[in-house]
Amino acid sequence: MSNRRVLVVGTTADYIDIINRRLPQRAIFVTDADERAKAKENPPNEDTELLCDLADCEQVVVAVRKHLNRFRITPSGIACFDCESMGLAAFIAGELGLSYPSAEAVAACRSKLVSKQLWRGAGLPCPRVELVQDASEAVSFMHAAGGSVVLKPLTGSGSELVFLCTNEDECTAAVGTLKSRLASHPDRRMYEPYFFDGKKVDPRKVFVIEEFIRGDEYSCDFVFDGDRVDIIRIARKIPDPGQVFGTTRAYIMPAELPSGLGGDSLFCGQLGRAAGALGLSRAICMLDFVVRDGRAVMIELAPRLGGDCLPALLLRSCGVDIIGYALDFAERRGVRFPAPSRWTPLVGMRLFGRQCGEITRIDSESLREDRRVVECCLKRRVGHRVVLPPEDYESRLLGHVIFEHSGPGSIESECVEIGEKLKVEMRTQACATASRF
């Protein structure tokens, strides 16, 4: 009897739990030992999960081969849901002869500098960008750009250590924060040095600065396979003005492309050119973009599906399990997505802690009883300690809620109203100053 499974590289315990519940015996997990030690979820059976130090690619491959042989498992494909593990997934795929984006393509996607350089070289819309090491270089770029700029880590993810700067003082402060926080950042793999064009690049010492693109923010997942592009979903982002810059409060799904972009066919063409310019040939991709002056200005592309509450929102909106689809894609199985007319318009809102401290009470009863709410998922319990950015970006996220917009008011105001139904009491503690520029 064949024992074929997809290798899922470097994912978190909550995704492992989802896959094992929905798709038992479909995957084998290669998990960072430190990540598993922090998790509250129970680990899977011994044959289903391999724990090791994911920073040593060659040793991981040795351990994977031994594990596969021991349990007589044949890898049927490889999948990865986390930015810091995509390089490892590419290395394992190369060693085991599995289909996955190349290490070079992954490196191009992960670099906030290289990706935009390649796009601009291909004539695709994206911000002007440079690499800086100190505040003077950042200030010089801001003057040359003639407006606000964004400073961010070279290989980071999400809104972590992303700063909007409107003057010289904010540029100087942002560079100082990036230097101090990245120098001691515990995530070795997210910010590990890498080689590009024969030169070593250290993301803890050099940073990306780019012009700020003002406009409506969107996110999409799409499949790129050769010259074919299929859009899975498009979501409009609602920023959170009460959180640090770059934090998304909510996603609206499905979202229609603004008419000025020329429709799905032209946008699909841009997606295909964008993926191809980065060296991708077959991948599920996530793209963040801003619509300005009738153009989709691209901010970041990753060869993985979108995270946050997007998989749960997609499941509620159209019934597609995108996490399961990623395993199907790894095994080259086909899937059909429902027509847009069959999707239910929904809002997925992230729930944040607003102050530092230890949670002493968290009550979602009023939230769950709201007739608009179709799903409420809390990640935290009593005893959880919230630490705010820039010291920590993950602990503030308490969970998410998915609801139907009732109108006629704005979705932004409805997010505030519904979010206030989550009752959180905390034993407050001193907290590092949160940078909100």
Tens digits of residue pLDDT in 71-95: 999 999 999 999 999 999 999 999 9
Residue 275: closest CA among 82, 99, 83, 105: 105
Q: Is 181 found in the same domain as 271? A: no
Residues 56-67: tens digit of each pLDDT: 999 999 999 999
Q: Is residue 328 part of a domain?
A: yes
Q: Is residue 116 part of a domain?
A: no
pLDDT at residue 377 greater than cutoff 50: yes
Q: Is residue 48 part of a domain?
A: yes
Full-prediction pTM beyond 0.85?
A: yes
Q: How far apart are CA 222 and CA 296, in angstroms?
A: 15
Q: Is 335 found in the same domain as 255? A: yes
Q: Is residue 121 part of a domain?
A: no
Q: Is 321 found in the same domain as 244? A: yes
Q: Is 362 found in the same domain as 333? A: no
Q: Is 189 found in the same domain as 272? A: no
Q: List Cα–Cα distances, 267 to 229, 261, 274, in angstroms.
A: 10, 7, 10
Residues 120-138: tens digit of each pLDDT: 999 999 999 999 999 999 9
Query: Domain with 412 in it: what CATH number?
Result: 3.90.1170.50
Residues 202-248: tens digit of each pLDDT: 899 999 999 999 999 999 999 999 889 999 999 999 999 889 999 99
pLDDT band at 437 (very low <50, low <70, confident <90, very high): very low
Residues 267-323: tens digit of each pLDDT: 999 999 999 999 999 999 999 999 998 899 999 999 999 999 999 999 999 999 999
DSSP 340: G
Q: Is 220 found in the same domain as 340? A: yes
Query: Domain with 34 in it: what CATH number?
Result: 3.40.50.20
**Which domain does 303 fall in, by range?**
216-344
Q: Is 327 found in the same domain as 233? A: yes
Q: Is 65 found in the same domain as 15? A: yes
Q: Is 324 found in the same domain as 241? A: yes
| Amino acid letter for position 94 | G
Last residue of a domain, one of 186, 211, 236: 211
Query: Domain with 140 in it: what CATH number?
Result: 3.30.1490.20
Last residue of a domain, one of 323, 344, 365: 344
Q: Sheet harboring 295-302: ordered strands across?
A: 295-302, 282-292, 216-225, 228-239, 248-253, 346-352, 397-403, 373-378
Q: Is residue 123 part of a domain?
A: no
Contact present, 193 and 274 (Cβ < 8 Å): no
Question: From the CB of residue 188, how many other CB atoms can be counted at a distance below 10 Å?
Answer: 13
Question: From the CB of residue 393, how many other CB atoms can be counted at a distance below 10 Å?
Answer: 21
Q: Is residue 107 part of a domain?
A: no
pLDDT at residue 434 greater than cutoff 50: no
pLDDT band at 2 (very low <50, low <70, confident <90, very high): low
Number of domains observed in the structure of the chain: 4
Res 256: pLDDT: 84
Q: Is 403 found in the same domain as 419? A: yes
Residues 6+ apart with CB under 8 A from 396: 243, 352, 353, 354, 386, 387, 388, 389
Last residue of a domain, one of 149, 182, 211: 211
Q: Is 284 found in the same domain as 233? A: yes
Q: Is 162 found in the same domain as 266? A: no
